[in-house]
Amino acid sequence: MSTTAISFIIIIFLVHHVRSESVLASSPEQPHRTAFHFQPPKNWMNDPNGPMYYNGVYHLFYQENPFGPLFSNQMYWGHSVSLDLINWTPLELAIAPTQPFDINSCWSGSATILPGNKPVILYTGIDSEYRQVQNLVVPKNLSDPYLREWVKYTGNPIINLPEGIQPYDFRDPTTAWLAEDGKWRIIVGSQKDKKGIALLYQSEDFVNWSKHESPLHEVVGTGIWECPDFFPVSVDSTNGVDTSVKENYAANARVKHVLKVGLFDYHKDYYLIGNYSPEKENYVPQNELTLGTLRYDYGKYYASKSFFDPVKNRRILMAWVNESDSVEDDIAKGWSGLQAFPRSIWLDQNQKQLVQWPIEEIEMLHENEASFQNENLEDGSLHEILGITAWQVDVTISFKLSNLEEAEKLNPSGIDPQLICSKMDASKKGKFGPFGLLALASHDLTEQTAVFFRVFQNNGQYVVLMCSDQSRSSKRNGLDKTTYGAFADIDPQQDEISLRTLIDQSIIESFGGGGKTCITSRVYPTLAIGDDARLFAFNNGTQSVVISELRAWSVKKARINVEETIGYTDQ
């Protein structure tokens, strides 16, 4: 379980004085509740837990404090189900702190589908002595399509705190994988003397687990690893790969393996791509885990969890997006936290990074398309995108550049792209850039969130910088208005610079270069709300750029937290 909000514990007594009623998305009293991003009707939510597909139904579990809008020292597992990953029906709490092995919290974990189509969940419990231990639960009734009730294994904990590890540094078991030797494997996040560790465990029966003599991987100086994820990705296809297919672990398997870890000290998800040998229990990453290494998302995006979707043969990624306002704000509105929109993920053709893209089901919510082509944007140009709901929109735009030899020079080596974005925000004129979108903008542009690019040259090659500038996102004070940034793997000589952005009331998710670089922001406009929100394409660079194509759709409100019986087909 991610513990970004641990500091909130000192004021957790406030939770028990808050009993907010259910609220409607984006109502006048709650203008920043989302319409098509998952969030409970009230109270605190963080990590997605154990997402899975089972017998025709998608399941999303999540960390929840059912008693108030702040992180609690007694966390539960919330549970919702869906047929399409868009519309979600709420269910009863799935796991509650009731036994000595989890009495002080039920923290994060993962689901695995065992042979015979039997789902199980492993999760971290905070026991009666405040030690982190790993526990097992199974469905009470496999014939229930919703899997409403879960039963704790009487032999819990199945994995105790290992020797030499601090009681609070052992958490978040992964989905298990099965190799050709017939043994199940999981990893659990840990640390020792600031060395981040993926502890490896093996089992033949999923109940009795033994720690392997060596971790799957470890990196000095990275601190506690939480919410780890380990899964195969195809080198030949954009299709997803099931974690537990034995052929994935054969010597000639056409897969690489992704190890994702959440670095608690930085509240960011980093990932490695490499080769895994179960015979040697050896994982060799092709990139290093440093603060400059690959990340799923360069904005607010943490505690992510992926799962294989057999319906459409894809791997789906979900993640927690926390608030950017204050504890007092959360208490006042009665809720905190939401889930990023589900993303399909696959390995890029160059095998150096992952690609992420909103799942195609979002098209179910599309309406009122606006589009245009071949629009030239001179220095200082604005083009308002009309005919759509600018506060709930899915927009794609592609920019074509010429005269690239005029680009400013920049050597990206050793440079923090986020720092460049902060110093050269959307108001700072360059040659190629800033150009992009002004999202959730007020009519006078005093409120705006700019998602934009800048292009530089370096020794005959070109460097593309992607930024999300929140500095003018709201008139309110006391908000986190961090400007985010990352370099994008785009060659503007060969390819157009593309951007896709999902805007939903208070969240802006942006996908640059076809999903190679992603940035998520949380913003709280005071003017650009509802019908008063506007959306612009812009160019503030001295060199003109051409919008080769723009397409935008209004996005309707999804049916989330609607208590109704969903259809069910046994598959």
Segment 448-501, tens digit of pLDDT: 999 999 999 999 999 999 999 999 999 999 999 999 999 999 999 999 999 999
366-555, CATH topology level: Jelly Rolls (2.60.120)
- Token duo for residue 512: 């640059």
Long-range contacts of residues 176-181, Cβ cutoff 8 Å, at least 24 apart: 176/110, 176/112, 176/122, 176/206, 176/243, 176/244, 177/230, 177/231, 177/243, 177/244, 177/248, 177/249, 178/244, 178/246, 179/246, 179/249, 179/278, 180/246, 180/249, 180/250, 180/278, 181/278, 181/279
Segment 32-56, tens digit of pLDDT: 999 999 999 999 999 999 999 999 9
Q: What is the pLDDT along the chain (571 residues), one digit of tens a residue?
A: 654 444 333 333 333 333 233 334 456 789 999 999 999 999 999 999 999 999 999 999 999 999 999 999 999 999 999 999 999 999 999 999 999 999 999 999 999 999 999 999 999 999 999 999 999 999 999 999 999 999 999 999 999 999 999 999 999 999 999 998 999 999 999 999 999 999 999 999 999 999 999 999 999 999 999 999 999 999 999 999 999 887 888 777 899 999 999 999 999 999 999 999 999 999 999 999 988 889 999 999 999 999 999 999 999 999 999 999 999 999 999 999 999 999 999 999 999 999 999 999 999 999 999 999 999 999 999 999 999 999 999 999 999 999 999 999 999 999 999 999 999 999 999 999 999 999 999 999 999 999 999 999 999 999 999 999 999 999 999 999 999 999 999 999 999 999 999 999 999 999 999 999 999 999 999 999 999 999 999 999 999 999 999 999 999 999 999 876 555 443 3
Q: Is 98 left (phi over 0), alpha (psi -120 to 50) or beta?
A: alpha
**Helix (H) / strand (E) containing 327:** helix 327-333
Task: Give start-end residues of each CATH 2.115.10.20 domain in the chain.
Answer: 6-358
- What pTM did the predictor assign? 0.94
- Token duo for residue 261: 């870890």
Task: Give start-end residues of each CATH 2.60.120.560 domain in the chain.
Answer: 366-555
Give the pLDDT of residue 95: 98
**Helix (H) / strand (E) containing 418:** helix 417-423
- 229 annotated active-site: no
* CATH node for 6-358: 2.115.10.20
DSSP state of 289: -
